[in-house]
A and B are shown apart, each in its own frame.
Chain A
Amino acid sequence: MNDAFLVTLIAATLRVATPILLAAIGETFAERAGILNLGIEGIMFFGAFIGFYAADMSGSLWVGLAVAILSGLLAGLLMALLSVTLGVNQHVSGLGITLLLSGLALFGFRLQYGGRSTPPSIEPFGQLSPFQGIPILETIFQQYLLTYVTFLVIVPLAWWLLYRTSLGLQIRAAGENPEAVDAAGVNVFRIRYLALVIGGGLMAAGGAFLSLAQLGAFTHGIVAGRGWVAIALVIFGNWDPVKVMGGALIFGGTYALQLRLQAMGLQLPVPYETFLALPYVVTIIALVIAGRNASYPAALLKPYRRE
């Protein structure tokens, strides 16, 4: 009984962590380049919707995913236009984009599927089962392809891009000291645009995972604050893709755990919500301990203008 519990818990953790991890990696790129993208919640939500809609219309889940990613790229572009080129206050532009994309998604959803009595659904992505037959492994490794890709490709790729390529070097420098980057002859605006566009694509992919893989449907509450969790994870993970992955696993684990405990009818002295709130509280504490200097990208939130 205990074995199975732990095993299914690990499997669920990976599943739950996937969409948030994707979005958090996307936000990591943005913040490393110096932009706080509060549009993340809206981009995820819209990605979930448009992915679902495109898949439904075209009959292909992959088309849905591609369209979702495209929408994320465009959303990142919009954020870049507002906060990099125009230098608009980043909190407001980000929240504006969240409001815009949430509204657009709900608008489109109601328009296309409003009349139905039962919510629309599609056949979601199937899961891969490479270890059929082997007791523990078969459960843990029965995951969506997207989960595999996220953990085994996206995270290492993101790490490699940030730390082992010239582009990554420029992104990191742009978020710390854009003047130095400018003095080195590199275009700060171009770097930030790129980071935001890549980030937007990843965020939308995270949203699409929810509707195309996890649920096979689109609902109002499909994202429900996961975007804000991702922001917490980026800070918690010190803007490092691998550590962010660790944070996502911890979050996924506690989320899956409390779901299971609830299903088992277990009464705990503290409400289940305590586990869910924990990542946020820990992140705030981490911010305090880290102090001002630590890894906080020094140029975060400041538009760059060459005087």
Chain B
Amino acid sequence: MYIVEMREITKRFGPVVANDAVTFRLAKGEIHALLGENGAGKTTLMRILYGLYRADSGQILVEGREADIRSPKDAIALGIGMVTQHFALVPPLTVAENIVLGYTDGFRLRRAVIEQQVGEAARRFGLEIDPAATVRHLSVGQKQRVEILKALYRDARVLILDEPTAVLIPQEVDALFQTLERLRADGLSVVFISHKLDEVMTISDRVTVLRDGRVVGTVLTRDVTQAELARMMVGRETFGVTRQHEVAQGDVVLEMDNLCAEDDQGLAALKSISLSIRQGEILGIAGVGGNGQKELAEVLSGLRKPTAGRILVKGRDLTGATPAQFSHAGVGRIPADRHEGVVGDLTVAENLALEHLHEFTRNGRLDRRAIQAHAEKLIAEFQIKARPGDKVRTLSGGNMQKVLLARVLSRRPQVVIAPQPTRGLDVGATEYVRQQLLAQRERGAAVLLISEDLDEILALSDRIAVIYEGEIVGLLPAEEADVERLGLMMSGAVRETG
């Protein structure tokens, strides 16, 4: 008997189909993994179950009865709880206070009473938590346990965990798995969203693989191998390689030497990355999002200081340099999020001039004619559908990206850092951007392409590196790359370092 059934769920965000007639069934007392890359639709599906989104079509049944879930409140009432990647905790409050927030009866809040109740609940579920501890002082693993207890406290019988191990150290992962196994023995049903094959193999009873919004298959974990799962996860029927001819490769222009960096929480995000890129080469970094790509792009753009290691551009040490210094050293950086890369309320012309203002000012005064001319030239050259005086926020996503590209590529940089360059763009804009990157390669630039889109990596790269949990777990020429091999590396099943 299925405790939760989601039938033919379809959800669109504008032109993008996040879930395409997805059917998902969760049995009672099982740990069911939802496996897939970023954008496969796993999180969307669960957010629909938890009431954060509403499906465009399809049905949800909870314990055999049709359910209309419009908000988390409804989901909680049906016994569904979710632990998201970003915790919804209030740091200065205690564990007990966080857990009873919005779930208390009566006006009075007796500290001793709620701490006792929470303590009891923690013991009942086998979770090691101190109800009196202040959340701010807890480790990430402990915070996650608080979130889990929060869901269980509200009598959840279904627990959704969204990429729970993304923020945990190995010991905490073990502790989490022990907790899940105990909860399963108690009759709890768990949905475990992940892209990490080894964990899926370890903890789950069944696996549903999603790809591009559709269900590829649902299998019993013990009946399947990692290789098979990897292929299901990233398999492609056909992919077009648009990379044309070989280009003579020159000297090494960008070198990363044992580069280490931390993320915003202070955890290690990059662990001793060593890579080098030559002139006329595109190095593609493949991987599922959240494995250090963001921090890598930031470190190479001057937005984040590495904690160890070096960055060399044509032999010059640019470790920890500012954005301006990177720019002047010939490194063309494209922002990973174009909405944080453009100043929306400034004009196209102003945004185009912003990175090299000293060239457009004389004695401090703006040379407006030069800025205008520069904008007109770039608009023509890069086919930006906008006028120099338009405010950038009125542009389409594709044109915004063209502005950012134009700003960078018109300088003929020797290195191009391109993180997620086509994310969220339509087909036409995507094609355009990819052609631009290939053109840079022809020109002799070294291009670092970071992308969660395997098609893109395969289409453009000369060499491919796979990043997993902050490390390069594989580096191979494009000709030797096939989807299965990459998939295994991307999901942590295989390491080919050497």
Q: Do chains A and B make direct contact within the complex (CB under 8 angstroms)?
A: yes
Additional A-B contact list (6), CB under 8 Å, known A173-B101, A177-B88: A165-B107, A173-B90, A176-B90, A176-B93, A179-B88, A180-B101
**C-alpha gap A180/B220 in the complex (Å):** 36
Closest to A182 in B: B88
Contact B108 A164 (CB under 8 A): yes
Task: State whether A169 touches B101 (Cβ < 8 A).
Answer: yes
Size of A's binding interface in residues, CB under 8 A = 21
A170 at the interface (CB under 8 A from B): yes
User: Which residue in chain B gives the minimum CB-CB distance to A166?
Assistant: B104
Note all chain B residues with C-beta closer than 8 A to A186.
101-102
B90 touches which of A164, A168, A172, A185 (Cβ 8 Å): A172
CA distance A184 to B72 in the complex (A): 8
Which listed residue, B72, B100, B108, B109, touches A185 by the CB 8 Å rule? B72
B138 to chain A, nearest CB (A): 15
B103 at the interface (CB under 8 A from A): yes
B88, B91, B108 pick with most chain A CB within 10 angstroms:
B88
A127: CB under 8 A from chain B? Answer: no
Q: How far is the CA of A185 from the CA of B100 in the complex (A)?
A: 12
B295 contacts the other chain (Cβ, under 8 Å)? no
A104 on interface, CB distance cutoff 8 Å: no
Query: Is there contact, CB below 8 Å, between B106 and A164?
Result: no
Which of B39-79 touch A at CB < 8 Å? 71-73, 76
A sample of 14 cross-chain residue pairs with beta-carbon separation below 8 angstroms, ordered by A number, consists of A163-B109, A165-B107, A166-B104, A166-B107, A172-B93, A173-B93, A176-B91, A181-B101, A183-B72, A184-B88, A185-B72, A185-B76, A185-B102, A186-B102
Closest CB-CB distance, A40 to chain B, in whole Å? 24
Residue of B71, B92, B106, B107 with most partner-chain A CB within 10 A: B92
Which B residues are in CB contact (< 8 Å) with A170?
Answer: 101-102
Contact (Cβ within 8 A) A184 B103: yes
**A181 and B108 contact, CB distance less than 8 A:** no
> Number of B residues contacting the other chain (C-beta, 8 Å)?
23
Contacts of A149 in B (CB 8 A): none
Taking a contact as CB atoms under 8 Å apart, the answer to whether B111 and A164 are in contact is yes
Assess whether A169 is in contact with B89, with CB atoms less than 8 Å apart: no
Q: Which of A153-178 contact B (CB under 8 A)?
A: 163-170, 172-173, 176-177
On whether A177 and B89 interact (CB within 8 A), knowing A167-B107, A169-B109, A184-B103, the answer reads yes
Shortest CB–CB separation between residue A73 and chain B, in angstroms? 20
A273 vs B112: C-alpha distance when bound (angstroms): 47
Residue A54 CB within 8 A of the other chain: no
Minimal beta-carbon separation of A290 from chain B (angstroms): 13
Instruction: Let me know if A164 and B110 touch, CB within 8 A.
Output: yes
Interface SS majority for chain A? helix
Q: Please measure, in the bound complex, the distance between the C-alpha atom of A65 and the C-alpha atom of B86, giving whole angstroms.
A: 47
Give, as a whole number of angstroms, the nearest-CB distance from A187 to chain B: 10
Is A164 within 8 A of B102, CB to CB?
Answer: no
> When the two chains form their complex, are residues B88 and A183 in contact, meaning their CB atoms are under 8 A apart?
yes
**Taking the complex as formed, is A295 at the interface, i.e. its CB lies under 8 A from any CB of chain B?**
yes
Q: Answer yes or no: B97 CB below 8 A from chain A CBs.
A: yes
Q: Inside 8 A of A167's CB, which chain B residues have their CB?
A: 107
Per-residue B-contact encoding for A210-244, CB less than 8 Å = 1, 0 else: 00000000000000000000000000000000000
- Residue in chain A with minimal CB distance to B108: A165
> In this complex, what residue of B is CB-closest to A183?
B88
User: Could you tell me if A180 and B90 are in contact, using CB atoms closer than 8 angstroms?
Assistant: yes
- The yes or no answer to A298 lying at the interface (CB within 8 A) is yes
In the complex, what distance in Å separates the CA atom of A176 from the CA atom of B72? 21
Instruction: Find out whether the CB atom of B109 lies under 8 angstroms from the CB atom of A164.
Output: yes
CA distance A176 to B109 in the complex (A): 19
B101 and A295 form a contact (CB under 8 A): no
B266 CB, nearest partner CB in chain A, Å: 13
User: When chains A and B are docked, how far (Å) is the Cα of A181 from the Cα of B88?
Assistant: 8
Residues on the B chain within 8 Å of A177, using CB: 88-91
Contacts of A180 in B (CB 8 A): 88-90, 98, 101
Query: Could you tell me which residues of chain A, from 180 to 214, have a CB within 8 Å of some CB in chain B?
Result: 180-181, 183-186
Partner of A181, one of B76, B102, B109: B102
> B92 contacts A295, CB within 8 Å?
yes
Instruction: Let me know if B88 and A169 touch, CB within 8 A.
Output: no
Instruction: Check A172 against B92 for contact (C-beta < 8 Å).
Output: yes
Nearest B residue to A176 via CB reads B90
Please give the distance in Å from B103's CB to the nearest CB on chain A.
7
Residue of A nearest to B102 (CB): A184
- State how many angstroms separate the Cβ of B233 from the closest Cβ of chain A: 29
Q: Closest CB-CB distance, A169 to chain B, in whole Å?
A: 6
Least CB distance from A240 to B in Å reads 11
Question: Which residue in B71, B72, B93 is a CB contact (below 8 Å) of A169?
Answer: B93
Q: Contacts A172-B93, A173-B90, A180-B88 known; A165 to B109 CB distance under 8 Å?
A: yes
A169–B97 Cα distance when bound, in Å, is: 7
**List of A residues within 8 angstroms of B103 by Cβ:** 184
Which of chain B's residues has its CB closest to A239's CB? B92
A163 CA / B114 CA spacing, docked (Å): 13
A169 contacts across to B, CB distance below 8 A = 93, 97, 100-101, 104, 109
**In the complex, what distance in Å separates the CA atom of A177 from the CA atom of B97?**
13
Distance from B146 Cβ to chain A, minimum over Cβ atoms (Å): 11
* A101 to B92 Cα, complex, angstroms: 35
